[in-house]
Amino acid sequence: MVKKVSKKEAIEKIERFFSSSNFKNKTAKEIKKIKRFAMKNNIPLREKRKLFCKNCLRPFYESSIRIKNDFLTITCEYCEEKNRWRAV
């Protein structure tokens, strides 16, 4: 039932998902699905992880981004989870 995809195809699918113009309208369910897809195909999301909340998996939308002590903090407006990354 599960179609085996090549790594190249998998990367393309993920790129398409995150660069689509309606990414902000993606649901947590869709993001969960693509995350699992990436994991299954051993594809690191890297920078793309900054596009959605690690707690509720919703795309960030007009969230407040703060940079403090070399850390980038995005507060999710849905669950108020603080997502932190080392600012590059």
Binding site for Zn ion (CB under 5 A): 53, 55-56, 76, 78-79, 81
Give the list of residues 6+ apart from residue 64 with CB closer than 8 angstroms, or none. 74, 75
- CB of 79 vs Zn ion, minimal distance in Å: 3
- CB of 41 vs Zn ion, minimal distance in Å: 25
Location of structure tokens 């509720």 = 56
C-alpha dist (Å) from residue 5 to 2, 37, 71: 9, 10, 36
CB closer to Zn ion out of 38 and 76: 76
- CB of 51 vs Zn ion, minimal distance in Å: 12
